[in-house]
């Protein structure tokens, strides 16, 4: 049917409703932008932009609920305005709730500074917030889909018939999903018990790395050589692993040096102190040099030092190892381990 054939009065009423909703949209956007610019309000400056799409969908759902609009669409033989409006309303509300959850998460986390060296509490909060956000998103989207399907009588009856006839198939699916559900529960358990946190330093499967991302089903670990190790969350519940920053970000570093028996341990100990005192990498807490083993041809010397975090400890170990080796080369070249071969003169 052509537009000119429509009832002029109906077209006028529909246009007025549409214009009112457009003005409402512009007004709400203006208010949200003004609120976002004022620091005393809770909402961030980007909130107006984040809710633009769900706001448009909500106003469109409202538009379809007006009697004149329903009559307008009936002229085109489209009688599903109520169903479409219901779907749009569910989508807009769900989207807005998810935006609010993200806003609250970001607002809470702004109170914590993860860039600090001693960032244990900040990492703990960030880990909990990220996992709880994912859990909330999953539950809200699942509920929204369920409500949307139940809003249609035909789909609801189909769903009921499928559920009642599932029987054995449902049991089989339940057993098949058992592992997936276990993984999800492990993710939730990690959020609350926190055997690992974001930015923790771990040794997993013999690999040294930093926790980069924690989801409900897997954990991404950034290996020191920039590779990524992806591990299921159940791993951290069922298997042992090393967490170097479990209770604090401070960490001890070790350097092993092998010399023969002629080296002067006291001078070597004094050199270690000199090296540590002249580098900002050391946090001035631990400075120990010990002979930890004696073999047939050499002795094992361990230098123990402390740093504020694991990356700094790595750099400190590399620096100390190099300086100690240079010192031994210059001051005790005769103490570098060598293999001595004696020839029998009688032969």
- Total number of domains in the chain: 3
pTM equals 0.47
Q: Is residue 137 located within the same domain as residue 240?
A: yes
pLDDT of residue 4: 44
What is the full DSSP assignment across 130-187?
Answer: HHHHHHHHHHHHHHHHHHHHHTSHHHHHHHHHHHHHHTHHHHHHHHHTHHHHHHHHHH
For residue 159, tell me if it sits in a domain. yes
Domain termination residue (choose one: 217, 247, 277): 247
Establish if 126 belongs to a structural domain.
no
153 with 188, same domain?
yes
* Phi and psi angles of residue 70, each rounded to the nearest 5 degrees, phi first: -60, -40
Closest CA to 49 of 38, 36, 59, 60: 36
List, in sequence order, every residue forming a beta bridge with 119; answer none if it has no partner: none
User: Are 83 and 140 members of one domain?
Assistant: no
| Structural domain span for residue 218 | 131-247
d(CA 144, CA 147) in angstroms, rounded, equals 5
Per-residue pLDDT of the chain (347 residues; tens, 9 = 90+): 444 455 566 566 666 767 777 787 777 777 766 665 665 556 666 676 777 788 888 877 777 776 656 666 665 555 567 777 788 888 888 988 888 888 888 777 777 766 666 666 777 777 777 777 887 888 888 788 877 777 666 655 554 444 444 444 444 445 444 555 666 677 777 877 788 888 788 888 888 888 888 887 889 998 877 889 999 888 888 888 888 777 766 677 888 889 888 888 899 999 999 999 999 999 888 888 989 888 888 888 989 888 887 778 888 999 999 999 999 988 888 877 766 555 555 54
Same domain, 202 and 273: no
* pLDDT of amino acid 324: 92
Q: Are residues 164 and 101 in the same domain?
A: no
Final residue belonging to a domain, choices 200, 227, 247: 247
Residues 6+ apart with CB under 8 A from 167: none
Residue 270: what pLDDT? Answer: 92
CB 212 within 8 A of CB 222: yes
Give me the sign of the Cα torsion angle 146, 149, 154, 159: negative
**In whole angstroms, what is the distance from residue 209 CA to residue 198 CA?**
11
Q: What pLDDT is attached to residue 132?
A: 79
Do residues 105 and 35 both lie within one domain? yes
- Please indicate, yes or no, whether residues 303 and 229 belong to a single structural domain of this protein: no
Is the residue at 181 inside a domain?
yes
12 and 100 assigned to the same domain: yes
Q: Does some domain include residue 293? A: yes
Strands 242-243 and 201-204: antiparallel
- Burial environment of residue 142 by CB neighbours within 10 A (0 to 12, 13 to 18, 19 or more): exposed
The answer to whether residue 103 is domain-embedded is yes
Residue 145 lies in a domain: yes
In a shared domain, residues 242 and 257: no
Using the 3D structure, point to which of 247, 272, 296 is the last residue of a domain. 247
Cβ of 344: how many Cβ atoms within 10 Å?
5
Same domain, 231 and 318: no
Residue 125 placed within a domain: no
Could you tell me if 292 and 319 lie in one domain? yes
Kindly state whether residue 80 falls inside one of the protein's structural domains.
yes
pLDDT at 243: 85
**pLDDT of res. 118:** 63
Token pair of 99 as six digits: 């935006």
φ, ψ for residue 287, nearest 5 deg: -150, 100
Q: Give yes or no: residues 241 and 255 share one domain.
A: no
| SS3 (DSSP) at 194 | coil
What pLDDT is recorded for position 320? 93
Residue 281 and residue 321 in contact, taking contact as beta carbons nearer than 8 Å:
no
């Amino acid at each position: 049917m052509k537009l000119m054939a429509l009832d002029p009065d109906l077209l006028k009423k529909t246009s007025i409703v549409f214009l009112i909703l457009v003005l409402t949209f512009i007004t709400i956007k203006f208010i949200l932008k003004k609120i976002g610019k004022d620091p005393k309000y809770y909402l961030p400056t980007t909130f107006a932009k984040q809710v633009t799409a769900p706001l448009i969908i909500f106003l469109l759902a409202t538009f379809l609920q007006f009697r004149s609009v329903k009559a307008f669409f009936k002229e085109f033989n489209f009688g599903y305005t109520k169903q479409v409006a219901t779907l749009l309303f569910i989508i807009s509300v769900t989207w807005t709730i998810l935006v609010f959850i993200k806003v609250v998460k970001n607002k809470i986390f702004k109170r914590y500074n993860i860039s600090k060296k001693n960032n244990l509490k900040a990492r703990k909060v960030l880990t909990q917030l990220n996992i709880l956000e994912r859990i909330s998103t999953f539950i809200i989207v699942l509920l929204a889909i369920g409500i949307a399907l139940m809003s249609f009588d035909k789909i609801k009856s189909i769903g009921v018939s499928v559920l009642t006839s599932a029987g054995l198939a449902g049991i089989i699916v339940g057993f098949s999903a058992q592992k997936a559900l276990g993984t999800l529960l492990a993710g939730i358990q990690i959020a609350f018990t926190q055997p690992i946190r974001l930015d923790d330093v771990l040794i997993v499967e013999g690999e040294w790395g930093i926790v980069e991302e924690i989801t409900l089903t897997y954990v991404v670990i950034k290996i020191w050589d920039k590779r990524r190790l992806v591990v299921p969350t159940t791993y951290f519940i069922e298997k042992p692993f090393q967490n170097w920053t479990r209770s604090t970000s401070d960490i001890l570093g070790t350097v092993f040096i092998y010399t023969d028996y002629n080296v002067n341990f006291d001078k070597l100990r004094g050199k270690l102190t000199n090296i540590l005192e002249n580098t900002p990498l050391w946090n001035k807490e631990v400075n120990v040099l010990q002979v930890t083993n004696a073999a047939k041809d050499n002795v094992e010397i361990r230098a123990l030092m402390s740093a504020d975090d694991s990356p700094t400890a790595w750099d400190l170990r590399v620096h100390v190892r190099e300086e100690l080796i240079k010192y031994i080369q210059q001051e005790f070249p005769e103490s570098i381990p060598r293999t001595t071969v004696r020839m029998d003169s009688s032969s």
